[in-house]
Amino acid sequence: MSAETPMATGPRPSLPRIRRPDFLESPKVLRTEVLAGLVVALALIPEAISFSIIAGVDPSVGLYAACTMAVVISFVGGRKAMISAATGAVALVVAPLNHQYGLGYLVAAVILGGVFQVILGSLGVAKLMRFVPRSVMVGFVNALAIMIFMAQVPEMTGVPWGVYPLIAAGLAMMVLFPKITKVVPAPLVAIVILTVVTLAAGIAVPTVGDKGELPSALPVPGLPDVPFTLHTLTVIAPYALALALVGLMESLMTAKLVDDITDTHSNKSRESVGQGVANIVTGFFGGMGGCAMIGQTMINVKASGARTRLSTFLAGAFLLVLCLVFGPIVSDIPMAALVAVMVLVAVGTFDWHSVLPGTLKRMPVAETVVMVVTVIVVIATHNLAIGVVVGSVVAMIAFARRVAHLVNVSGVTDPDGTQAVYSVTGELFFASSNDLVYQFDYKNDPDDIVIDLSGAHIWDASSVAALDGIQTKYAGYGKKVTITGLNEHSADMHERLAGQLTEAH
């Protein structure tokens, strides 16, 4: 540098800091995520095999789906620490297709369902979640807890007597062990200890291996074995659309539940698209598709304390390693250990506060009815998505009825008897405006009528049509109606639609 060249004295521009992944912030977080992924992987095995049986496919199809769904969604999903894998809801959707047309058509439907999910996610379908009321969410959570417990009942009936003390011991360990230390997840401790005890004591109880044979080779990507014709598309499209809708509903509801548990926000649109991408990849690897797994997510988030994407990724990765490398050992895990984990998850998931007498006494009857309806429909159909839709519809009907009753019409006649002024207050929409026409004294009112809507709001065409009907009835008696007090939105709607909703005669 020459003597004439001044040296820069200002602050040097700083390069953007690359944020480290959450799980690298501390060894404790990393340990929690790794162990949580291992616990979830162990719990995924019997579930994936059971769902494979429901769908009528080989156990490896469900296990491959669990691996690929978890690994892919850990990168592309919008909700950290949520577990996606093969699920019962998706298995029920695709089972008839597999039984009638075979595995090739099932896989093709999974891929097309993933495409539908990507499209729906890109169009913002996740925004519809804001229309799910709290009472439906509570019903969803309670129904979920009941279904998780009901799924364990077959594992506790008609089994050797040794299963019951093992389940009791597992529950005791998971309740007491966290009081000693939380370094290792209590579910993992229970699984390991119960497995060692059953093997050492030679206790004959059902094991993971009794559910089905674990795969012994890596999944190989490929195209579905179907003719690429219009007929194939017409066959798989209805199943693919059903899979997409059910998968998105369960995934978005689970994401919202995890948001509440962790007090964090997630990107629901990204999650919707991510579910689609995961299903597409899963389909090309010959898996049966899936969505968010609520029970395993609760194990990951509530029981194990996971909070990052690493636990989700490792759940899929560990699952593959456990099946391929440690298959014989995993096969010896007693089902009682996994049942104990799921029972504790069910108890912890249920919103006990929602059913306390004090809560029920304070809660509006309509809110309680919506919660109960949601629970009943979910349990009756074994489909969380259907229960949420029905519960939301019931909640909307109850809301409409409640708001409709808040519309009030009061009339005052001038002392000289030349003008009648009606004041309308409340929200005018299809449910409230239908009775509006009967609130006026058409025959006995004076010739000049004023309807003051400064305390009301027009929401739809039904309300405009009702006002037209009122004016028409007064006109039949030779009387004039003036509408005043419209706010900007109401005035715009009334101006555009007034007199245009019925045919001229």
Opening angle at CA 196, ends 190 and 201, nearest 5: 125
Q: Give the dihedral sign, CA 198/199/205/206.
A: positive
Spatial CB neighbours of 474, under 8 Å, sequence gap ≥ 6: 440, 442, 445, 449, 480, 481
The rounded distance, in Å, linking the Cα atoms of 465 and 444 is 23
Q: pLDDT of 273-307, one tens digit each?
A: 999 999 999 999 999 999 999 889 999 998 889 99
The rounded distance, in Å, linking the Cα atoms of 118 and 109 is 14
Which is higher by pLDDT, 188 or 236? 236
Residue pair 211/49 in contact by the 8 Å Cβ criterion: yes
pLDDT at residue 16 is higher than 60: no
Spatial CB neighbours of 100, under 8 Å, sequence gap ≥ 6: none
pLDDT at residue 9 is higher than 70: no
pLDDT at 188: 87
Helical residues (DSSP H) of 155-229, grouped into ranges: 163-180, 186-201
Structure tokens at 124: 């913002």
pLDDT at 503: 55
Structure tokens at 205: 């109880």
pLDDT at residue 374 is higher than 90: yes
Strand partners, 412: 421
pLDDT at residue 52 is higher than 90: no
Residue carrying structure tokens 């014709």: 229
Which is higher by pLDDT, 16 or 440? 440
Structure tokens at 457: 């709001």
Residue pair 81/308 in contact by the 8 Å Cβ criterion: yes
For the chain, report the end-to-end CA distance as a whole number of angstroms: 94
pLDDT at residue 404 is higher than 90: no
Q: pLDDT of 102-154, one tens digit each?
A: 999 999 999 999 999 999 999 998 888 778 888 988 898 898 788 888 888 88
pLDDT at residue 244 is higher than 80: yes
Spatial CB neighbours of 99, under 8 Å, sequence gap ≥ 6: 56
Work out the pLDDT band at 455, boundaries 50, 70, 90: very high
pLDDT at 1: 44
Residue among 290, 284, 230 at smallest CA distance from 104: 284
- With a pLDDT cut of 90, the percent of the chain lying above it is 54
pLDDT at residue 15 is higher than 80: no
b (16+ CB within 10 A) / e for 425-455? bbbbbebbbeebbeebeeeebeeebbbbbee
Q: Give the dihedral sign, CA 389/107/53/298.
A: negative
The rounded distance, in Å, linking the Cα atoms of 225 and 208 is 31
Helical residues (DSSP H) of 420-460, grouped into ranges: 430-433
Distance between alpha carbon 268 and the CA centroid of its chain, in Å? 10
The rounded distance, in Å, linking the Cα atoms of 76 and 278 is 8
- What's the mean pLDDT in 75-87? 94
- With a pLDDT cut of 70, the percent of the chain lying above it is 94
pLDDT at residue 85 is higher than 90: yes
pLDDT at residue 181 is higher than 50: yes
C-alpha count within 13 angstroms, C-beta hemisphere, residue 98:
22
Work out the pLDDT band at 24, boundaries 50, 70, 90: low
b (16+ CB within 10 A) / e for 308-331? bbbbbbbbbbbbbbbbeeebeebb
DSSP state of 85: E
Mean residue pLDDT across the chain: 88
Work out the pLDDT band at 435, boundaries 50, 70, 90: confident
Distance between alpha carbon 176 and the CA centroid of its chain, in Å? 32
DSSP code string of 83-145 = -EE--HHHHHHHHHHHHHH-HHHHHHHHHHHHHHHHHHHHTTGGGGGGGS-HHHHHHHHHHHH
Position 145, amino acid: A
Structure tokens at 446: 């004076």
Q: Which of 10-24, 128-142, 167-181, 452-466 has the lowest mean pLDDT?
A: 10-24
Distance between alpha carbon 323 and the CA centroid of its chain, in Å? 29
pLDDT at residue 505 is higher than 50: no
pLDDT at residue 364 is higher than 50: yes
pLDDT at residue 170 is higher than 70: yes
Helical residues (DSSP H) of 202-229, grouped into ranges: none
Structure tokens at 292: 């968010």
C-alpha count within 13 angstroms, C-beta hemisphere, residue 31:
7
pLDDT at 414: 78
Work out the pLDDT band at 217, boundaries 50, 70, 90: confident
Structure tokens at 220: 């190989």
DSSP E strands in 372-479: the ranges are 408-413, 419-428, 448-458
pLDDT at 344: 86
Cβ neighbours around 368 below 10 Å, total: 18
The rounded distance, in Å, linking the Cα atoms of 373 and 366 is 10
Distance between alpha carbon 459 and the CA centroid of its chain, in Å? 30
Work out the pLDDT band at 211, boundaries 50, 70, 90: confident
Number of residues that make up the chain: 505
Work out the pLDDT band at 90, boundaries 50, 70, 90: confident
Which is higher by pLDDT, 211 or 166? 166
Work out the pLDDT band at 504, boundaries 50, 70, 90: very low
The rounded distance, in Å, linking the Cα atoms of 254 and 410 is 48
- Helices 268-284 and 59-76 cross at an angle (nearest 10°) of 140
